[in-house]
């Protein structure tokens, strides 16, 4: 580990962005070499040295590698002809803002990311370069929120919102906190996974603490990502009173395996991160090869029951097309129903008949 390893700025400055750089660290497959060439300008590559260090160089199917290194499949005709760039209809009339549920809004603060995840649901933004909302664009969004008194919860995402300079971040947080009906602010950030060094900066932590209540939604997908540095990042957030919840995406080849998911959620509980959602992979153009069947998700959810605390079991959800929002999904544990007499499937697979009536 060179000097600078614990420094976020160093991690960002030294991101691997070209084929020749990556070749120094990994023996690339033809599929990857071609992938890096063909995705250039459309779905570019960027990998922090830290995230790269988690890759087993001898395993072309390494789960970190599949998330970070472009492959030709992303631009294959079959993949490109399926899905949509903005399958969830996030883009609306105000740039950077999505208001879907009455009580919550999503702000996309920047298109910059530490690592360009190959499965990203916002892959459409990669080609536009690294752009952050201007102060004027932030003002427009804040005006909208001020006028909509039903909005209580602000989700700030990106790109990578916590990559934005502290001055601009504070400008946004201060304006949001001046609005009486805004109750909580959340950051959707993958930095605990991609560059946990971001949270070794006391100035950032001071800022987040000052605008409490702030929550973090992060994105661990595989047990290999739960490292000592990630744990340290989470720990620093928790010490400042900032809860950290996780949103995993079910990805073919990466984590579509019950035992892997169990291990991931156990490791997250150990570092005090609550698995909040397990998302079914969205039909995003250029990323649809990561999609599994819905049955795979049900199989995983069924497997988890009885093997880990209920705290460690996320809500499995699918996002509906056309911007119709998230739907929670559960395997069916009610085998039969006659009036108020139900036959349930217990955690160990046995069937239990139980009559439940209102008292």
Ligand X SMILES: *Cc1c(COP(=O)(O)O)cnc(C)c1O
For the bound state, the minimum distance from the C-beta of residue 162 to ligand X, rounded and expressed in Å, comes to: 18
Q: Is the CB of 100 or the CB of 307 nearer to ligand X?
A: 100
Work out whether 98 is an interface residue with ligand X (CB under 6 A): yes
- For 197, other C-beta atoms within 10 Å of its C-beta total 23
Tokens of 125: 């933004």
Work out whether 101 is an interface residue with ligand X (CB under 6 A): yes
Residue 265's Cα: distance from chain center in Å? 15
Interface size with ligand X, residues (CB under 6 A) = 7
For the bound state, the minimum distance from the C-beta of residue 151 to ligand X, rounded and expressed in Å, comes to: 10
Work out whether 125 is an interface residue with ligand X (CB under 6 A): no
Interacting residue with ligand X among 89, 100, 146, 296 (CB under 6 A): 100
Region 153-172 residues binding ligand X, contact defined as CB under 6 A: 155
Q: Is the CB of 258 or the CB of 323 nearer to ligand X?
A: 323
Residue the block writes with tokens 């009536």:
357
Say if residues 289 and 252 touch (Cβ distance below 8 Å): yes
Q: Is the CB of 104 or the CB of 177 nearer to ligand X?
A: 104
Say if residues 272 and 234 touch (Cβ distance below 8 Å): yes
Query: Whole-angstrom Cα distance, residue 330 to residue 42?
Result: 36
Q: Which positions are annotated as active-site residues?
A: 100-101, 104, 113, 117, 120, 122, 282, 319, 326
Q: Is the CB of 34 or the CB of 86 nearer to ligand X?
A: 86
Residues in the chain: 359
Work out whether 224 is an interface residue with ligand X (CB under 6 A): no
Q: Which stretch binds ligand X (CB under 6 A): 22-30, 74-82, 98-106, 197-205?
A: 98-106
Q: Which stretch binds ligand X (CB under 6 A): 99-107, 194-202, 231-239, 339-347?
A: 99-107
Q: Which stretch binds ligand X (CB under 6 A): 6-14, 101-109, 125-133, 166-174?
A: 101-109
State the SS3 of 266-302.
HHHHHCCCEEEEEECCCCECCCHHHCCCHHHHHHHHH
Interacting residue with ligand X among 82, 89, 104, 224 (CB under 6 A): 104
Q: Is the CB of 155 or the CB of 214 nearer to ligand X?
A: 155
Residues contacting 113, CB < 8 A, separation 6+ = 46, 120, 158, 159, 160, 163, 190, 194
Q: Which stretch binds ligand X (CB under 6 A): 93-101, 172-180, 259-267, 327-335?
A: 93-101
Read off the DSSP letter of residue 135: H
For the bound state, the minimum distance from the C-beta of residue 98 to ligand X, rounded and expressed in Å, comes to: 4
Work out whether 226 is an interface residue with ligand X (CB under 6 A): no
Work out whether 326 is an interface residue with ligand X (CB under 6 A): yes
Q: DSSP letter string over 45-86?
A: --B-HHHHHTS-TT-TT-HHHHHHS--GGGG-HHHHTSSBTT
For the bound state, the minimum distance from the C-beta of residue 323 to ligand X, rounded and expressed in Å, comes to: 8
Work out whether 246 is an interface residue with ligand X (CB under 6 A): no
Q: Which stretch binds ligand X (CB under 6 A): 40-48, 65-73, 97-105, 294-302?
A: 97-105
Query: Whole-angstrom Cα distance, residue 187 to residue 45?
Result: 23
What is the strand order of the sheet 214-218 is part of?
97-98, 104-108, 153-157, 184-188, 214-218, 244-249, 274-279, 315-320, 325-329
Q: Is the CB of 155 or the CB of 300 nearer to ligand X?
A: 155
Work out whether 106 is an interface residue with ligand X (CB under 6 A): yes
For the bound state, the minimum distance from the C-beta of residue 118 to ligand X, rounded and expressed in Å, comes to: 20
Q: Is the CB of 23 or the CB of 104 nearer to ligand X?
A: 104
**Beta strand ranges found along the chain (DSSP E):** 97-98, 104-108, 153-157, 184-188, 214-218, 244-249, 274-279, 315-320, 325-329, 334-338, 341-345, 351-355
For the bound state, the minimum distance from the C-beta of residue 312 to ligand X, rounded and expressed in Å, comes to: 18
Phi, psi (deg, nearest 5) at residue 334: -100, 105
| Interface ranges with ligand X (CB under 6 A) | 98, 100-101, 104, 106, 155, 326
């Amino acid at each position: 580990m060179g000097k600078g390893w614990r420094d976020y700025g160093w991690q960002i400055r030294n991101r691997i962005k070209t084929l020749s750089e990556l070749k120094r660290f990994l023996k690339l497959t033809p599929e990857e070499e071609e992938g890096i060439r063909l995705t250039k300008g459309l779905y570019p590559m960027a990998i922090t040295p830290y995230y790269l260090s988690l890759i087993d160089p001898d395993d072309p199917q390494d789960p970190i590698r599949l998330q970070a290194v472009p492959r030709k499949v992303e631009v294959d005709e079959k993949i490109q002809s399926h899905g949509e760039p903005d399958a969830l209809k996030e883009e609306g009339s105000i740039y950077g803002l999505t208001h879907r549920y009455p009580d919550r809004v999503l702000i996309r603060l920047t298109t910059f990311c530490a690592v360009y995840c190959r499965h990203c649901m916002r892959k459409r933004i990669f080609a536009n370069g690294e752009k952050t909302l201007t102060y004027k664009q932030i003002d427009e969004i804040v005006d909208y929120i001020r006028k909509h008194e039903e909005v209580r919860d602000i989700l700030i995402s990106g790109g990578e919102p916590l990559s934005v300079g502290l001055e601009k971040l504070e400008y946004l947080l201060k304006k949001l906190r001046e609005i009486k009906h805004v109750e909580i602010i959340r950051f959707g950030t993958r930095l605990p996974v991609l560059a946990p060094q971001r949270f070794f900066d006391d100035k950032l932590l001071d800022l987040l603490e000052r605008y409490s209540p702030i929550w973090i939604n992060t994105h661990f997908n595989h047990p290999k990502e739960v490292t000592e540095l990630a744990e340290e990042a989470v720990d620093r957030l928790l010490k400042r009173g900032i809860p950290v919840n996780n949103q995993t995406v079910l990805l073919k080849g990466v984590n579509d395996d019950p035992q892997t998911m169990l291990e991931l959620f156990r490791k997250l509980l150990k570092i005090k991160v609550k698995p909040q959602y397990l998302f079914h992979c969205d039909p995003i153009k250029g990323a649809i090869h990561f999609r599994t069947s819905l049955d795979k998700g049900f199989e995983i959810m069924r497997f988890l029951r009885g093997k880990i605390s209920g705290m460690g079991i996320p809500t499995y959800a699918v996002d509906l097309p056309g911007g119709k929002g998230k739907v929670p999904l559960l395997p069916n544990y009610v085998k039969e129903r006659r009036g108020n007499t139900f036959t349930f499937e217990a955690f160990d697979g046995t069937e239990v008949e139980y009559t439940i009536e209102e008292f």
